């Protein structure tokens, strides 16, 4: 079992490093995103009746580490996140078996998302929860600004087309987000399409 004290120590240490050392210009992939994914994963897990404390702690750790690879790289950051989690969590005495579960969750968030179990479905939905939320357009603007500054996209028109394509291939995996977020996501898609 991972004690609450151990979890809090890991969380504090990692969030401090992300705050101090993430590259500038991560308007989307910042500490705020990590905390949002953690919050949404806990919400979804509650709605999905996940009660196993170890599963919940592993999910929380996966959320904290899922984008930590941005400390080193944007490309293949999930693999780097997994390697970082493996190295650091072993030092906290977390078993290799549990770290394998954490890495499975982290790697499931790669696009296109391909979750293989309930916990991976939860983290995938938490990671892209904003697509079906009221704050979607604000968060989408942050991602556009980040990608534009990185030279990945150049114009708003190009970004809107990328978003339409992404929306059409994305799906929520949990019953909770299919009910709560998918209908709002569909409205956002219609708004974006109408602007193209």
Which of 55, 74, 176 shows the shortest CA–CA distance to 125?
Answer: 176
Q: Using one digit for the tens of pLDDT, what is the confidence trace for 24-52?
A: 999 999 999 999 999 999 999 999 999 99
Give pTM, 2 decimals.
0.96
Going by C-alpha positions, the residue among 140, 63, 136, 62 that lies closest to residue 101 is: 62
Q: Looking at residue 2, what is its pLDDT? A: 87
Sorted by sequence, the CB contacts under 8 Å of residue 189 that are 6+ apart come out as 164, 167, 168
Give the pLDDT confidence score for residue 127 in this predicted structure. 98
Confidence band for 94, pLDDT divided at 50, 70 and 90: very high
Give residue 1's pLDDT. Answer: 74
What does the pLDDT look like over 48-82, one tens digit per residue? 999 999 999 999 999 999 999 999 999 999 999 99
Cα 157 to its chain centre, rounded Å, is: 25
């Amino acid at each position: 079992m991972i004690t609450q004290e151990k979890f809090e120590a890991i969380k504090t240490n990692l969030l401090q490093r992300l705050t101090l050392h993430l590259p500038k210009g991560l308007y989307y992939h910042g500490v705020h995103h990590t905390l949002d994914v953690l919050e949404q994963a806990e919400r979804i897990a509650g709605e999905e009746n996940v009660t196993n404390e170890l599963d919940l702690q592993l999910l929380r750790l996966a959320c904290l580490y899922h984008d930590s690879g941005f400390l080193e790289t944007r490309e293949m950051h999930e693999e780097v996140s997994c390697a970082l989690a493996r190295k650091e969590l072993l030092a906290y005495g977390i078993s290799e078996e549990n770290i394998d579960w954490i890495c499975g969750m982290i790697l499931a968030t790669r696009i296109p998302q391909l979750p293989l179990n309930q916990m991976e479905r939860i983290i995938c939905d938490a990671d892209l929860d904003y697509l079906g939320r009221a704050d979607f357009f604000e968060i989408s603007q942050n991602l556009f600004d980040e990608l534009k500054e990185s030279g990945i996209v150049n114009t708003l028109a190009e970004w809107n087309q990328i978003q339409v394509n992404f929306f059409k291939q994305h799906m929520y995996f949990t019953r909770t987000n299919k009910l709560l977020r998918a209908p709002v996501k569909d409205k956002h898609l219609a708004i974006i399409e109408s602007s193209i």
